Structure 1
């Protein structure tokens, strides 16, 4: 049986962890197949969860820097311990009468390069322990603000006390923290009432597969995307058989004309065999897939 290699764009349902999704896919394809996910989604969130199979799991790191998109519902007037609907209520305050232009002026403070303090209930490490584990144990947890990039923050709807926002951002952004900070700026507090991830890099919600439709191995194969999906913006370097043989063994090959710093190496049959990075006048294999 041929090895399964590639990515699934799964539409994660509410109530499951990202690990639950991976476990379900693994049961369908067989315990011997490597399965991993890129970009954790909280159980209360839905939407795009990229799942890698086989040697495509070695490309998960290519999605770390990928832009992500979300649609979230921010409920004003209620602060929670976790900054979302899963936590206990900390405080409630009246929601002021707000116009859409007033709300947009507040959202503008969070566009671009900003400092954001991660939620206390997060998976970040503090002295080797997860922040959420320390918080659940009653410890005082303080996480330093981090610089993050929010490329798009748009008000989609305002139906008091809920505002619906669209977000496109870089790595490390917590939409829960964004909801919390919007509420703090407005003076009434807020939490994230609902969240859907609309894309991760090249993986889009409109082409994602609902988890419930993945019923057996054949259906998984039907929806499997090539591993190259995550590096389609890398140029292709078409190799002759001699250079392909060297690259398959991890040996650098000459880099001729061109200014590219990275490339996808294809063998004469057009198959992806490695990812390359330029090192001076040579292409150095950094991930080799041939023969795996």
Structure 2
């Protein structure tokens, strides 16, 4: 048992919360995650989403307790990076901006040799590239991209397209899904917050831990009746009669099933599109895949019928 058990609000966050850490250059994502676990007491289930290379800094999402189950969501989060590209020759800013425009959209990439994954050709979407500044042969870029995009490869390809060659000099992740630089805390600040909490003042630590719901900002939401929550927590499929409202989504989409108080119950797979039913209709519409809420959080709203003799 850790030393924060006497604070119910903090205990709830530790059981299913996330921390957006400002990962420094040097340590691996695994090392940073281990340090956070030690600060929080060492007995909390913990994990990270979206690995950053040792020399890359920025937003690293740390999952606590049951939120670890949401790792697949974080791994698919849309990402944003701030990169410094060093060119091997002088190029006018207008030419750099023109080439940056050409790299928007779907692009082929092969992971760089320094990568820990197989160097297999892949396609990734780059939603936006903005040239923030040019200082001689150094180019500051903001890249909004699909998860799994290699910014190192992007810089090499852009430099080749500019006709001078070049490489990525430095990289910082500025956003992962709905969490960005305004939401992060440093390891030093987190350590101080943990010490304050041990002394009885947990306000700072609680401000650093977000509920797991912050992870699902990019996922369609289905709101269910309170009477249907516990059945879902016990593995039942979701029928239209238990639904109050839903966003638009297609068959096969990942959807977030929420309570009337906007609490995350589970992530599920849509068995039919949202256009094929109305809230309150009969029939199974969603198959839960990742259940986050604990059973008995809500009162049971279903009963087992005894067989008649």
TM-score by length of 2: 0.76
Shift of residue 270, structure 1, vs aligned partner? 6.1
1:286 to 282, 289, 300: 289
Gaps of 5+ in 2: 6-10, 198-203, 273-282, 296-309
C-alpha separation in 1, matches of 2:211 and 2:83: 30
Contact 1:67–1:201 under 8 Å retained in 2: yes
Alignment: residue pair count = 255
TM-superposition CA deviations, 1:23-75 (whole Å, max 9, x none): 11010112221111111112222111111111101112112222111111101
Q: Structure 1 residues 64, 270: closer, same or farther in 2, change over 3 A?
A: closer
Q: Say if 2:77 is the partner of 1:66.
A: yes
C-alpha separation in 2, matches of 1:15 and 1:161: 25
2:25 to 3, 14, 18: 14
Contact 1:255–1:278 under 8 Å retained in 2: no
Q: Say if 2:144 is the partner of 1:159.
A: no
What are the residue-to-residue correspondences of 1:128-277 with 2, within 5 Å?
A: 143-215=119-191, 216-217=193-194, 218=197, 219-232=204-217, 233-241=219-227, 243-256=228-241, 260=249, 262-266=255-259, 271-277=263-269
Task: For CA contacts below 8 A with separation 6 or more, give which structure has more relative contact order.
Answer: 1
TM-score by length of 1: 0.80
C-alpha separation in 2, matches of 1:269 and 1:208: 26
Contact 2:213–2:263 under 8 Å retained in 1: no
Contact 1:7–1:53 under 8 Å retained in 2: yes
1:103 to 84, 96, 99: 96
Q: Structure 1 residues 160, 34: closer, same or farther in 2, change over 3 A?
A: same
Contact 2:82–2:140 under 8 Å retained in 1: yes
C-alpha separation in 2, matches of 1:178 and 1:270: 39
What are the residue-to-residue correspondences of 1:112-127 with 2, within 5 Å?
A: 112-125=105-118
Contact 1:9–1:51 under 8 Å retained in 2: yes
Contact 2:256–2:264 under 8 Å retained in 1: no
Q: Alpha carbon RMSD of aligned pairs, Å?
A: 2.2
More divergent stretch after superposition (257-266 vs 46-55): 257-266
Contact 2:69–2:292 under 8 Å retained in 1: no
Shift of residue 255, structure 1, vs aligned partner? 1.4
TM-superposition CA deviations, 1:177-196 (whole Å, max 9, x none): 11111222233321211111
Gaps of 5+ in 1: 78-94, 126-142
More divergent stretch after superposition (256-265 vs 22-31): 256-265
Contact 1:12–1:46 under 8 Å retained in 2: yes
Partner of 1:276, secondary structure, is strand
Residue in structure 1 matched with residue 300 of structure 2 by the alignment: none
Shift of residue 238, structure 1, vs aligned partner? 3.0
Shift of residue 271, structure 1, vs aligned partner? 4.2
